[in-house]
Amino acid sequence: MRPSLLATLERRPRPRLWLGFLVMAMCLTVETLLGVALAKVVPVESLGVLYLVGLLLVTSLWGLAMGLVMAVASTVVFDYFLIPPAWTLWLTKSEDLAILGIFISLSLLACALARAARLLSGEMEARQEADLSAELARLLLRAPDLNAALPATARRLADALTLPSASIDLGDVPAENGGLAFPLRGEGIRATLRVPGGLPRPVTRRLQDRVVPSLEVLLEAACEREQVAGALRASRDELARIAEEQAALRRLATLVAHVAPENEVFSAVAREMGQILGARHTLVVRYEPACAALNVGAWSPSPGDDVNPPLGSRWTLEEGTVTELVARTGAPGRINGYTGRGPLSTQLRARGVVSAVGCPIIVGRSLWGVVVVSTRSADPLPEDTEVRMMEFTELAAAAIANAQSNADLKASRARVVAAADEARRRIERDLHDGTQQRLVALGLELRGIEAAVPPEFADVRLQVAHTAKALEEAVVELQELSRGLHPAILAKGGLEPALMVLARRSPVAVELDVSLDERLPEPCEMTVYYVVSEALTNATKHAFASVVRVAVSVGNETVHLTIRDDGVGGADPSRGSGLIGLTDRVEAVGGTISILSPKGAGTTLLVEIPCE
């Protein structure tokens, strides 16, 4: 929107004072000459209108003071040259006073109009500047990239100021082909506004006084916005990375808490760490005696990638490799180029591995192994790789410690069970070979004494016979006790005959289903035997069952044992029943036991025992 002519005049700076007096003299001269020429055809009273033009011009350009001077001068000249009698000055006449009053009023009015025009012009310019600044702000602050927004901003500025062309360039750029260059300076921003030369002075002044400061502020704000946006993107990426790491750590922690097998944990550590760190290859290596290393876990995004050594492979620690560096220092380390001449360095170099980072796995206070991530890229792995790997290696160490503790616990329980079985076997052998044989011999002697007693001593013979019978019953009880400690038939005939003996001796009917093609390892046979024996005892004493069904089979190197009764049910191992002992015995050999015992529906035991 272009300003009006009056607004343009009012916007211009006020001319110098001597020029005002010169214009005043010229206007009075021209107006008087024109009045003299028109005096013959126009009434003299109407010729005062001629002086209004000069009065308005002088008042508008030079203000009220010069307007009052012009009003007095116009009255004097009008009275002296045009009002009869001409060439005489009588300012006391009523007509002169009226003309002077009119001129002064018009001067005041012209001054007020000029001031109003000036205020209106200033408001219009301020509105235009605000609209232009708002539009430039939208272009600069809404653009995703500052460099892409500068050409559109320059075009809009050229359209608003009716410039032939304009450009905004980052940095200090000199003017070309006689054009003008306005430097734009701000915190963190240096740019240049270039426009063609030969522009009108008001446009140049407007550019320098108003447009350039506004652009500097906007460019600084746009630069700050771009920095804030970059920081937000970086924060968002960092939060996403942290969330991914925490999710991966939670998955690993879940595996550790569920006591997953070591190989499963190692594979998960390698996979999660490789995916989080963006590595191409990840290894979990265990150190072994004689400066050797064993690959226990590996991951690569490409299944057919041959960079990682095969799982379970061993190699000798070699100087210049990350596994040797971590083993020697016990601290995280990195290799940014395999330059050694050893076989491992040569192999890794041939496979294109450039950068590798290793982080130790500390179990207790001992160096157990190392986790290695590597890449084929020429750029080394990020500097924070070691720190990010530490959390994964700590979980791997926890899993290893748990696995070792579980293994030690199982081994200890197995040793306790084996020791108890061996003690039973020794006691049963001692009873059979020692005490039982002596009691049998003693019984035979009593029978001999009974036969040698004379008939007349019938009471003595009866007493000896009663003692011999009691001794025979004690021998039978001792035999039963020794069989319970360690049944000889189990060692001689195997599991199936031993279970058949248990079934015949049980007060409760037993339906036996044994499907075995060959004998089982001794620990498995003894565990199955004692589980069935204890289950039959519980069914008799507590379940009040009428029948017990026992099924034994082998599949996938596991013994499957199922025991079902039709008793009252409601068995609860937590209340300290014999089921706790069964559970401990089964778990001691690495097996599992499940107990289903709803009230009124009998009890079912499901047992699985590995028999490798």
Residue 232 pLDDT exceeds 70: yes
* pLDDT tens-digit map of 318-370: 888 888 888 888 888 888 877 777 887 777 777 777 788 888 988 878 888 88
494-522 tens-digit pLDDT: 888 888 888 888 888 888 888 888 888 88
Is the model's pLDDT at 576 over the cut of 60? no
pLDDT digits (tens, 9 = 90+) for 138-166: 888 787 787 888 888 888 888 888 888 88
Dihedral through CA 457, CA 460, CA 462, CA 467, nearest 10?
-160
Q: Average pLDDT for residues 7-22, to the nearest whole number?
A: 67
Token pair 């070792």 is found at 404
pLDDT of residue 435: 66
Strand arrangement of the beta sheet that strand 547-555 belongs to = 509-515, 547-555, 558-565, 604-610, 592-596
- Token code pair at residue 105: 């009023």
pLDDT of residue 2: 42
Residue 71 has pLDDT above 80, yes or no: no
**Residue 207 is which amino acid?**
L
Going by pLDDT thresholds of 50, 70 and 90, the confidence category of residue 575 is low
The pLDDT, as a whole number, for residue 7 is 41
Has residue 175 got a pLDDT over 60?
A: yes
Question: pLDDT band at 4, cuts 50/70/90?
Answer: very low
The two tokens of residue 560 are 């499957």
Among 106-110, 165-169, 197-201, 422-426, which is the least confidently predicted range? 422-426
User: Which phi and psi (to 5°) does residue 381 adopt?
Assistant: -65, 150
- Average pLDDT on 462-467 reads 78
Residue 98 has pLDDT above 50, yes or no: yes
* pLDDT score of 439 more than 50: yes
Tabulate helix, strand, coil % of the chain (nearest 5): 60, 15, 25
The yes-or-no verdict on residue 9 having pLDDT over 50 is no
Q: What is the DSSP string of 37-75?
A: HHTTTS-GGGGGGHHHHHHHHHHHHH-HHHHHHHHHHHH
Min mean pLDDT across 15-29, 154-168, 196-210, 579-593 is at 579-593
The confidence score (pLDDT) of residue 415 equals 64
Question: Which pLDDT value is given to residue 211?
Answer: 84
Provide mean pLDDT across the span 536-550: 84
pLDDT at 67 over 70: yes
Rounded average pLDDT over 546-567: 88
Confidence of residue 480 (pLDDT cuts 50, 70, 90): low
Predicted confidence at residue 156, as pLDDT, reads: 86
